[in-house]
Amino acid sequence: MNRDTLTTAIAEAERFLARAKAVPAPIERAPAEWAKSGKAWMDDSIRPKDSGAVRRASMDLTRALADLRKPS
């Protein structure tokens, strides 16, 4: 382990956390015909663009952590 790989791992961890926290919260949805009855559901899906950004950051973090564990 050296300072460069540690600094890279920290940066990737912070980038991953920023991407994960930027995912929008669930949205309550109700079709027009259900509006009178008060029925609704939570749309907890994550848009592909956001999902891809989180997955990419996760892969980069995994790679940085693997480099961190390699003997110097």
**In the prediction, which pLDDT does 49 show?**
94
Position 34 scores a pLDDT of 66
Indicate the length of the chain as a whole number: 72
pTM across the whole model: 0.78
Q: What pLDDT shows up at residue 36?
A: 67
Q: How confident is the model over 13-56, as pLDDT tens digits?
A: 999 999 999 999 888 777 766 666 767 777 788 899 999 999 99
* DSSP-assigned states of every residue in 3-63: HHHHHHHHHHHHHHHHHHHTSPPPEEE--GGGTTTT--EEE----HHHHHHHHHHHHHHHH
Q: Are 9 and 40 in contact, with CB atoms under 8 Å apart?
A: no
- Nearest CA-CA partner of 68 in 13, 11, 2: 2
